[in-house]
Amino acid sequence: MQRFLRRIWDSTLGRHLLIAALGVAVVILVVESVSDFRNVQLASMAYLGLAAGGLTILTGLNGQISLGHGALMAIGAYTSALMLQGAEPVLPLLAIVVVATLVTLLVGTVVGVAAARLHGPYLAGATLALAIAVPGIALFFSERLGGEAGLRVRMPEIPVWVLDAAYFVTGSELTRSRYISYLAWFTLILGFVLLANLSRGRVGRRWRAVRDDEVAAELAGINLGRARISAFMVSAAAAGAAGALMAFAVRLAAPSGFTLTLSLTLLAAVVLGGLGSLTGALLGAALLTFLPDVASNVGRDAGLTDIQAAQLAPLVYGLVMIAVILLAPLGIVGSLQSIAARRRARTRRTSTTSAAPTGAVTTSKGEAR
Amino acid sequence: MKSPTNTRLRRLVVTTGVALTALVLSACGGSRPDGGGEADPGVTDSTVKVGAHFPLTGVAAPGYSEIPTGAKAYFDFVNANGGVHGRKIEYLVRDDAYDPTKTSTVTNELVLKDEIFAMVGGLGTPTHGAVVDFLNDEGVPDLFVSSGSLQWGEDPEKLPWTFGWQTDYESEGKVIGKYVKENMPDAKVGLFLQDDDFGEDGEKGLRQSLDDQIVEVQKYTSGNTDVAPQVSALQSSGADLVIGFNTPSYTALTQLTALKLGYKPKWFYSNVGSDATLVGGLLARFSEGAVKSGSSSLDGVLTTKYLDTVDDADNAWIKLWQKVWEQEGDGKPLSNYRVYGMAQAYTFVQALQAAGKDLTRQGIVDAIEEEGGDFSGPVLAPFAYSSDSHMGTTGMRVVSLKGATTVPETEVEVTEIGDNPVELDDSDAGKDEPPSSGIPE
């Protein structure tokens, strides 16, 4: 048994699947044990996490910055909202997520082709334009896309087989918010497994090579443009799936939900958590989901008025952001990893004479900064 | 290198084992939820909990964030006098920053976590539109939406739990249209509209009587602050009366742009965009001080109102609101937005009383449908509430602005959506006095 698990752990795919299985168990446990409202929050953490995961691959591994991921989410959200207009959905929800992902992938490819030719501030500018322009499309075609008020999403009834399966596994009735929460988290886990595999494999190594040194990468036979475009495509696909999940959770696709603020929020999640780390992206998403709520609740309990408590949330968020940048410039996960690596190096030095170098983890993070 | 991998692996196996065991245990403990049948959420013998979403931060916060402070002051006033049927009103306000996505989040919080009995006064057309289906699916009374869109009340079969409150934009358009037709029959009318339900409903109402007088229609998208193209198009069309269905910021922007272009038509702003004090402040800010702060910049501008305003200092309702605000307010001056919040809270207290001692969600909706049409209160015209309509108050009067005060131009006129005519209100709804206790009987 031990040896069998060792074997799985040593292969990249096996390890990711094992962690994913653990993730599924934890998700079921958490979703079943918390209230409906927490599940709504968990669902929004999942879609933010998935989009941030895609962005952290793009920015952390490939070195491209995108201020337009909110717009890519909008494309996923509108695609799924358009398919959820009638009383009966066109496709099952999972298929809708897939279609939304594919449509966003297509748009991401077009943007990626343009983005691959740009660097630094120019790339930021181009993607910024995307973030501003896409919500405008919804306003321009207001007949079809609902204009300012947006498209309302009609969530279909939960399929009977899902209800049965949920009752069989958990022994309790599946509520609507639990259902959305499961859907979001299972999609997140699937997405993260795919992203983790990609970044561990040949594709990921190419992305890193392009990020670290373009000339060296080109000398090694890597097609720079292709590597950049593929990174953008993968990242866009994640944003599209996240957008679809957001439409399910919020039950609305409206331009005001996909302003530049959303794009910057995603970037903030990535920076808070630690560039290039999927765990970091998830942690950043968790902070962004729960921090404002906790801050304003604390404020209200401390006797502040509603307005003051509401204003407390952005204040605390800003302070946390400043604190992380000052005290843990590698992001939360990045800093924890470097502390762990340092401690490991120290114990190893004391226990054995052959002090092994701490490995690639630290260097790649140092550069990712 | 072997030992760290081994420990990590072992740790992972142990965690998985623990998690799975816990999962199985929790599954055994799972039970089907019982059927309920007890009191509705949010109601006890001594309290009733209601909630609302408002923009407390962000661009829409100036002005609108004052509405819940007014409502809260009135609820506190009622609670201090023993509450309604022995129940104190607990009022929760959540910030949505005028972002529909956030509205959805905070409404989930109010309904699922705080378990409110009803939503009272949630503000905004796009924002409330994001949650209206959810509230109706969950069977949460969605009372007195702070928005004049028709969608809240025109089809009670589709949204049985939702009620409008203020005069809807189509009726407002009809009242304005009638006034212009009678008093300025030769005016060439230009329209300046927000490009959503607000502008569309207003235009629909205006066109019923002004179709042949309208020479130009210009629209703006909220968020785009350059209105020079629209204003110069109105100027070149020769329009000498501009009717605006826009928000306060755009009142200031159009005034400023017209000043720059030397365009001097007669202006007529809908109720939403005409708070002289707020617009005066915005004008000073947008012009970076070039236009003096103060409310005199809108002198002579026409608008409408369906509630008495702070400047009617001798009005009995305003006196009541002043008293409530002195007792329960936060010390800042009373504003028209606070009056709005208090008047809305007053209507909710009336609904609670009509629903009787045994308060249920279905009960309060039935009570508003049956008795809501006869509620007498601070609004100038009667409500349209019935089982066929959940539209709010049915009329308004045209006034002109002079400094921070308003000068009445017409009596209160009432109408209903559709082709119904605009008529003088004969119900005396605008003349009733508040009860001496300040709490509806």
- Altogether, the residues listed in chain A come to a count of 369
Cβ contact, residue pair B30, A172, below 8 Å: yes
Q: Are residues B107 and B147 in the same domain?
A: yes
Distance CA B164, CA B142 (A): 9
Q: What tokens does B226 get?
A: 């350059």
Q: Are residues B245 and B357 in the same domain?
A: no
Q: pLDDT, tens digit, for every residue of A291-306?
A: 888 888 888 888 887 7
The closest CB to that of B26, out of A6, A32, A154, belongs to A32
Q: Is B155 helix (H, G, I), strand (E, B) or coil?
A: coil
Does residue B400 form part of some domain? no
Q: B199: nearest CA in chain A?
A: A148
Distance between B18 CA and the closest CA of chain A, angstroms = 10
Q: pLDDT, tens digit, for every residue of B131-162?
A: 998 899 889 999 999 998 888 988 899 999 99
Q: Is B88 helix (H, G, I), strand (E, B) or coil?
A: strand
Cβ contact, residue pair A147, B31, below 8 Å: no
Q: Which of B305, B340, B367 is the last residue of a domain?
A: B305
The closest CB to that of B65, out of A152, A154, A307, belongs to A307
Total domains present in chain B: 2
Does residue B192 form part of some domain? yes
Window 107-126 of B: residues touching A by CB (8 A cutoff) are: 108-109, 112-113, 125-126
Cβ contact, residue pair A311, B57, below 8 Å: yes
Distance between B401 CA and the closest CA of chain A, angstroms = 30
Give the orientation angle of helix A36-56 with respect to helix A260-273, to 10 degrees: 80
Q: B128: nearest CA in chain A?
A: A149
Q: Are residues B254 and B332 in the same domain?
A: no
Window 208-247 of B: residues touching A by CB (8 A cutoff) are: 221-222
Cβ contact, residue pair A139, B130, below 8 Å: no
Q: Which H or E element spans position B391? A: none
Does residue B420 form part of some domain? no
Beta strands B395-402 and B413-414, pairing class: antiparallel
Does residue B424 form part of some domain? no
Domains in chain A: boundaries: 2-260
**Which residues in chain B are contacts of A259 at CB distance < 8 A?**
99
Q: Are residues B182 and B288 in the same domain?
A: yes
Cβ contact, residue pair A142, B20, below 8 Å: no
Q: Are residues B112 and B148 in the same domain?
A: yes
The closest CB to that of A25, out of B5, B19, B28, belongs to B19
Q: Are residues B174 and B301 in the same domain?
A: yes
Does residue B7 form part of some domain? no
Do the beta carbons of residue B200 and residue B206 sit within 8 Å?
A: no
Q: Are residues B130 and B82 in the same domain?
A: yes
The interface predicted TM-score (ipTM) is: 0.73
| Distance (Å) of CA A272 to CA A82, A267, A277, A296, B232 | 34, 9, 11, 20, 47
| Distance (Å) of CA B252 to CA A7, A233, B58, B234, B266 | 70, 44, 18, 16, 15
Distance between B431 CA and the closest CA of chain A, angstroms = 35
Instruction: Give B272's contacts (C-beta < 8 A, 6+ positions apart).
Output: B148, B198, B245, B246, B247, B248
Q: pLDDT, tens digit, for every residue of A222-241?
A: 999 999 999 999 999 999 99
Q: Are residues B273 and B375 in the same domain?
A: no
B290 touches chain A (CB under 8 A): no
Distance CA A39, CA A176 (A): 10
Q: pLDDT, tens digit, for every residue of B40-95?
A: 899 999 999 999 999 988 777 888 889 999 999 999 999 999 999 999 999 999 99
Q: Are residues B192 and B262 in the same domain?
A: yes
pLDDT < 70 stretches in chain B: 1-38, 293-295, 428-430
The closest CB to that of B221, out of A33, A139, A257, belongs to A139
Q: Which of B263, B278, B305 is the last residue of a domain?
A: B305
Do the beta carbons of residue B192 and residue B230 sit within 8 Å?
A: yes
**What type of residue sits at position B34?**
D
Q: Are residues B378 and B362 in the same domain?
A: yes
**What type of residue sits at position A273?**
G
Which residue range is the domain that position B340 belongs to? 47-167+310-394
The closest CB to that of B126, out of A32, A35, A254, belongs to A254
Distance CA A123, CA A114 (A): 9
B136 touches chain A (CB under 8 A): no
Pick the residue of A2, A28, A139, A256 with the most B CBs within 10 A to test the interface with B by mutation: A256
Cβ contact, residue pair B23, A28, below 8 Å: yes
Mean pLDDT of each 10-residue bin along chain A, 369 residues long: 80 88 92 88 93 93 90 95 84 92 95 86 90 87 81 84 83 84 94 93 92 92 92 95 93 86 90 89 91 86 81 86 87 88 84 49 40
Q: Are residues B274 and B244 in the same domain?
A: yes
Q: Are residues B232 and B348 in the same domain?
A: no
Other C-beta atoms closer than 10 Å to the C-beta of A173 total 14
Cβ contact, residue pair B126, A150, below 8 Å: yes
Window 45-104 of B: residues touching A by CB (8 A cutoff) are: 56-57, 65, 68-69, 72, 93-95, 98-101, 104
Nearest Cα neighbor of B353 from B42, B86, B142 is: B86
Nearest Cα neighbor of B251 from B188, B305, B298 is: B298
Q: Which of B246, B274, B305 is the last residue of a domain?
A: B305
Cβ contact, residue pair A172, B31, below 8 Å: yes
Size of interface A-B (CB pairs under 8 A): 139
Distance CA B249, CA B229 (A): 17
Does residue B72 form part of some domain? yes
Distance CA B132, CA B126 (A): 10
Please tell me the pTM assigned to this model: 0.80
| A351 burial level (CB within 10 Å; 0-12, 13-18, 19+) | exposed
Beta strands B88-95 and B142-145, pairing class: unpaired
Looking at the DSSP bridge assignments, the partners of residue B216 are: B190
Task: Identify the CATH number of the domain in which residue B92 sits.
Answer: 3.40.50.2300
Pick the residue of B28, B76, B107, B112 with the most A CBs within 10 A to test the interface with A by mutation: B112
